[in-house]
Chain A
Amino acid sequence: MNAHQSLAIGQPIAPPEAISPAAGEPDAMVRFEAISKTYPAYRGKPGVNALENIDFAIPRGSITGVIGRSGAGKSSLVRLINGLEKPTTGRVIVDGRDISALAGRELRLAQRSIGMIFQHFNLLSSRTAADNIALPLEIAGWARADIRVRVTELLALVGIADKHDRYPSELSGGQKQRVGIARALTTRPSVLLSDEATSALDPQTTRAILDLLANINRELGVTIVLITHEMSVVRQLAREVVVLDAGHVVESGHVADIFTHPKHPITQSFLAEATGDSLPVSLASRIVAEPSAGGQAVIRVQVRGAGAGDTLVARLARELGLDVSLLSARIDEIGGQHVGSLTLGIPLGISGGEDAVTRTLAWLSQYQFPAERLGYVA
């Protein structure tokens, strides 16, 4: 299926290259260096530039989310890390080795230290849970007795010790993914790649699986790379995030920094999904463009940062002496930071005067809360 697999096993093997981390960069588990990936034209379909100018590092021991819409290049990116795909240009350094330069047996040995879990679990239907977990060990040539010990250990680790002899068709989605996770961990990998691992699961099961991944990261120190199109996954689990769009990295860094100050429209749209920037229908339908006497101005305030929004309404009301009403609010925690928005109703004067609104906006900008006037309600 891949070019490297048709190569003869006996070909000369390049000596492992020691690659020193670039100056000033934290210890990277995975580093993409000037990566591009182009799929050639095939059977009348034009070629596709799946990835262009990719340059970033995934810190050792981190949980890094790679988020993007479908077709953004996420799957190609993750498959470069475990050598299932080769970059067209550039190199991918995993744990100090240039995996993009490996082929044949050398590549297969390197792949054993990189685990991967999949959206559709990809378990063998003909094998029990235990035998599915044993497969990578059989492939690595472990002795039968050692395999049995390790498999029992892993079943317990992922919390399904009682499912030892169950076939995948007898397991729920969450249990299947637990088997997938156990299988990915058998050979004690230094990196665990998750390709939309929770996209086929219900929210409750998703949470349980994400908790399990967090535990694994904490207890085993495995670097986790999460490919996802779901903001909720990044929000719950990741500390670092890379936002991909149309084959480019548009933003990357700490989750808290990226999502408290989103710059790119794609990042902002993901954030809107998480924090519900859209107003409740009942409120949105009442908003009009012209003020009316005795009505309210509708102002949306963005809240970013630890504890930022906690006392905002109370202080605003107290310091300006206004009867501020809270029309809608949503505040979430992303990377330990409060992120969300408050939609406030500011009373207009008897004759529709906007004095209070002007004072409110001035007060908000003084404390550096981004705010906008959405309109008026009666």
Chain B
Amino acid sequence: MSPELINLIVQATFETLYMVGIAALLGTVFGLPLGVFLATSRKGELFAAPAINRVLGMVVNATRSTPFIILVVAIIPFTRLVAGTSIGSTAAIVPLTIASAPFIARLVEAAIREVDGGLIETASSFGASPIQIVLKVLIPEALPGLLLALTLAVVSLLGYSAMVGAVGGGGLGDLGIRYGYQRFMPEMMLAVVVVLIALVQLVQSAGDYLARRVNRRLRHR
């Protein structure tokens, strides 16, 4: 493979990391509070607001059930509004974030619901406010689950980011489509797939390692 092609792969890898990194960050910024709220706002819970919980739940479901490629196209006007353009890696961050936030929210909700309800009662019994319960009890206790959730989200984002390549988003997917598919360069396609596989492996291993490190529940038993 020529140095130019290798250079293309390196550049595309950085684009992918950029898109996925920023989208994962923003997805967490929106998804974490949303997930905590979903996990604590049913009837009788910490921030009980069943009506809002139901509405947000429906919005989350609607976003999650929209096929990603359709979401990308459907929100082009919004993407243009936010990013100034609808083409390129920066523009691709908008649909990636919108797709990952509800996904992360559901994973966060599940992780938070895993925390023993007795701990909420315990913290309440010594006068903790709902916010203190979230910050000092729920999130630290759910941390291993939250890290695994984030890992899963990043892996999904790697897949999504390859899809935005189809609509001019840049990155490894873009490279694979344009060179590997349209120019009939199977070695390029192979290289892109190998790099994506390596990235997924790396992210998953790092996530597993971190989750194991913060898990104090089983490690010493």
List 15 A-B pairs, Cβ < 8 Å: A6-B47, A6-B48, A9-B129, A111-B127, A116-B122, A122-B122, A125-B141, A126-B214, A126-B216, A139-B132, A167-B220, A169-B217, A169-B220, A184-B126, A187-B126
A128-152 at interface with B (beta carbon < 8 Å): 135-136, 138-140
* A229 CB-CB contact with B under 8 Å: no
Complex: A183 Cα to B125 Cα, angstroms: 11
Q: Determine whether the beta carbon of B118 is less than 8 Å from that of A122.
A: yes
* A109 CB-CB contact with B under 8 Å: yes
Instruction: Enumerate chain A residues within 8 angstroms of B220, measured Cβ to Cβ.
Output: 167, 169-170
Interface string of B93-120 (1 = CB under 8 A from A): 0000000000000000000000010111
* A69 CB-CB contact with B under 8 Å: no
Top 8 A-B residue pairs of the complex, sorted by shortest distance between their CB atoms: A111-B127, A108-B127, A122-B122, A136-B126, A116-B125, A167-B216, A126-B140, A170-B220
Given known contacts A6-B47, A125-B217, A118 and B118 CB-to-CB distance under 8 angstroms: yes
Counting chain A residues whose Cβ lies within 8 A of the other chain, the interface size class is 35 or more
Complex: A140 Cα to B46 Cα, angstroms: 19
* A223 CB-CB contact with B under 8 Å: no
B interface residue numbers (CB < 8 A to A): 44-49, 116, 118-130, 132, 136-137, 140-141, 143, 214, 216-221
Complex: A136 Cα to B128 Cα, angstroms: 8
Instruction: Enumerate chain A residues within 8 angstroms of B137, measured Cβ to Cβ.
Output: 124
Name the CB-closest residue of A to B216: A167
Q: Determine whether the beta carbon of B124 is less than 8 Å from that of A1.
A: yes
CB distance from B182 to the nearest CB of A (A): 51
Given known contacts A135-B136, A167-B216, A169-B221, A115 and B118 CB-to-CB distance under 8 angstroms: no
Complex: A116 Cα to B163 Cα, angstroms: 54
Name the CB-closest residue of A to B44: A1
Complex: A107 Cα to B126 Cα, angstroms: 10
A73-106 at interface with B (beta carbon < 8 Å): 82, 84, 105
Name the CB-closest residue of B to A107: B127
Instruction: Enumerate chain B residues within 8 angstroms of A122, measured Cβ to Cβ.
Output: 116, 118-119, 121-122
Which of A1, A124, A136 touches B45 (beta carbons < 8 Å)?
A: A1
Which of A108, A115, A125, A169 touches B129 (beta carbons < 8 Å)?
A: A108
* A5 CB-CB contact with B under 8 Å: yes
Complex: A140 Cα to B219 Cα, angstroms: 31
CB distance from A185 to the nearest CB of B (A): 11
Complex: A61 Cα to B216 Cα, angstroms: 38
Which of B46, B216, B221 touches A1 (beta carbons < 8 Å)?
A: B46
Which of A1, A9, A84, A124 touches B141 (beta carbons < 8 Å)?
A: A124
Instruction: Enumerate chain A residues within 8 angstroms of B122, measured Cβ to Cβ.
Output: 116, 118, 122
* A239 CB-CB contact with B under 8 Å: no
* A207 CB-CB contact with B under 8 Å: no
* A248 CB-CB contact with B under 8 Å: no
Which of A2, A118, A126, A183 touches B143 (beta carbons < 8 Å)?
A: A126
Complex: A169 Cα to B216 Cα, angstroms: 7
Given known contacts A1-B45, A1-B46, A115 and B126 CB-to-CB distance under 8 angstroms: yes
Complex: A125 Cα to B141 Cα, angstroms: 7
CB distance from B143 to the nearest CB of A (A): 6
Instruction: Enumerate chain A residues within 8 angstroms of B120, measured Cβ to Cβ.
Output: 1
Instruction: Enumerate chain A residues within 8 angstroms of B214, measured Cβ to Cβ.
Output: 126
Name the CB-closest residue of B to A113: B127
Instruction: Enumerate chain B residues within 8 angstroms of A120, measured Cβ to Cβ.
Output: 118
Complex: A122 Cα to B124 Cα, angstroms: 12
Given known contacts A1-B44, A126-B216, A139 and B136 CB-to-CB distance under 8 angstroms: yes
Interface centre among B44, B118, B120, B125 (most CB of A within 10 A): B125
Complex: A126 Cα to B123 Cα, angstroms: 14
A12-66 at interface with B (beta carbon < 8 Å): none
Which of A6, A116, A127, A167 touches B126 (beta carbons < 8 Å)?
A: A116
Given contacts A105-B129, A116-B125, A184-B126, 14 further A-B contacts (CB under 8 A): A5-B129, A84-B124, A84-B125, A108-B127, A108-B128, A116-B122, A120-B118, A122-B119, A125-B216, A126-B141, A139-B127, A169-B218, A169-B219, A170-B220
